[in-house]
Amino acid sequence: MKRIAVVGASLAGVRAAQELRAQGYDGGVVLIGDEPHLPYDRPPLSKAFLAGTASRESLDLLDTGDLASLALDFRLGVRATGLEPGNRRILLSDGGSVHADGVVIATGGRARTLPGFAGAHTLRTVDDALALRSSLVPGVRVVIVGAGFIGAEVASTCRSLGLDVVVLEALAAPLTSVLGPALAAVCARLHLEHGTDLRCGVSATGMDAAGVHLADGSLVPADVVVVGAGMTPATDWLAGSGLKVGNGVHTDAGLVTELPQVVAVGDVARYGGQRHEHWTNASEQAPVAVANLLTGHTSRTYTPSGYVWSDQYSGTLQLAGHPRQDDSLSFVDGDPSSASFVATWQRDGEIVGVFALNNAKVFNRLRRQALRRPAIV
């Protein structure tokens, strides 16, 4: 292949570009990104960068040495608007196009918005984080719709800035669908212990200048509203390409699409029916996808570790493995009321998932055991 285009200039795209070079590819690599910035890391956007304690430079995924050695042809601030596999061409929003023999799709996703919440902040990009940060001035009342990972981290950061925070969550407890009720109760405890007004089982219907309206007719006064409602995979530009999309770009277990010269990685990749929206997954897929792209067929398959971390208040939460709701949960080090503990999920006598609050040491030991089982779709 003379030239490979990587579409999406963020974590998964950068890892793919690095992996192309690591696996000996010395042809042209074009990195197309619709944000005007060089690739940067997102996890600090809801944590230290939002708090103002991490610099903009600390987010950069590539330093000057990387930029020189990778020899990438950057097309930044320009959106891919179409893929024409027959012509080996990617169409761009500036009217131009890129000819490519191979394509890595790494377009991640966009923050989901909610009807009735025009004017609310969302948080996916560094520009979103800068806009939100500038509104977090002393005395503002912050209302966050959604107590998922990002909603919880924004709440935590806002409390560290001394702001009043209300979190509105439709479920009975935060992250119940991911962690199950016992660990969701721990997440709720963290909010409450740190002075966040967490209201679960409520339905936010819209907002205006006064605040956020709930389905029961009440109003939660707000100066700043943040919607943390997850993300939507960025696949719109692939309409008409012939690739199968729908909740991501469909691939086989080796991250290869129906076309052997097109692979997908990161938050946008839906491989074998599953899609993950976590940093480690986006980082670890590149070696497999790139190997399969360069060999022209699926020679390797991807096994996700299911590793996720989240920093909320005084807690570092870590999760690994692929637990199901019907797996049995037990606390193996500490108990859920303590500031530090480890829990495991078991199935048929084997550990299939590990969760830790502030206990990386035991977590890492048990995590290796949790990886023995493949992901559950």
Q: Which residues bind ligand FAD (CB under 6 A)?
A: 7-13, 32-35, 42-43, 45-46, 79-80, 106-109, 123-124, 150, 234, 237, 266-268, 277-280, 282, 308-310
State which residue, 9 or 224, has the beta carbon closest to ligand FAD: 9
Minimum CB distance to ligand FAD, residue 214 (Å): 25
State which residue, 187 or 308, has the beta carbon closest to ligand FAD: 308
CB 50 within 8 A of CB 70: no
Structure tokens at 236: 């719109």
Minimum CB distance to ligand FAD, residue 267 (Å): 4
Minimum CB distance to ligand FAD, residue 66 (Å): 16
Minimum CB distance to ligand FAD, residue 151 (Å): 10
CB 271 within 8 A of CB 233: no
Minimum CB distance to ligand FAD, residue 221 (Å): 25
Query: How many contiguous H segments (helices) and E segments (strands) does the chain have?
Result: 10, 24
CB 258 within 8 A of CB 244: yes
State which residue, 47 or 202, has the beta carbon closest to ligand FAD: 47
How many of the other CB atoms lie within 10 Å of CB of 338?
13
Q: Which residues contact 190 (CB under 8 A, 6 or more apart)?
A: 152, 156, 312, 313, 314, 315
CB 50 within 8 A of CB 154: yes
Q: Which residues contact 256 (CB under 8 A, 6 or more apart)?
A: 262, 263, 289, 292, 293, 297, 298
Q: Which of 315, 251, 261, 225 is nearest to 103 (CA)?
A: 261
CA distance 50 to 136: 9
State which residue, 108 or 146, has the beta carbon closest to ligand FAD: 108
Minimum CB distance to ligand FAD, residue 27 (Å): 21
- Tell me the DSSP string of 281-311: HHHHSHHHHHHHHHHTS----------EEEE
Minimum CB distance to ligand FAD, residue 285 (Å): 9
State which residue, 186 or 308, has the beta carbon closest to ligand FAD: 308
State which residue, 10 or 251, has the beta carbon closest to ligand FAD: 10
Q: Which of 44, 314, 351 is nearest to 192 (CA)?
A: 314
Minimum CB distance to ligand FAD, residue 97 (Å): 13
State which residue, 156 or 359, has the beta carbon closest to ligand FAD: 156
State which residue, 36 or 349, has the beta carbon closest to ligand FAD: 36
CA distance 231 to 152: 15
CA distance 270 to 274: 5
Minimum CB distance to ligand FAD, residue 220 (Å): 23
State which residue, 11 or 198, has the beta carbon closest to ligand FAD: 11
Q: Which residues of 187-197 are buried (b: 16+ CB within 10 A; e: fewer)?
A: bbbbbeebebe
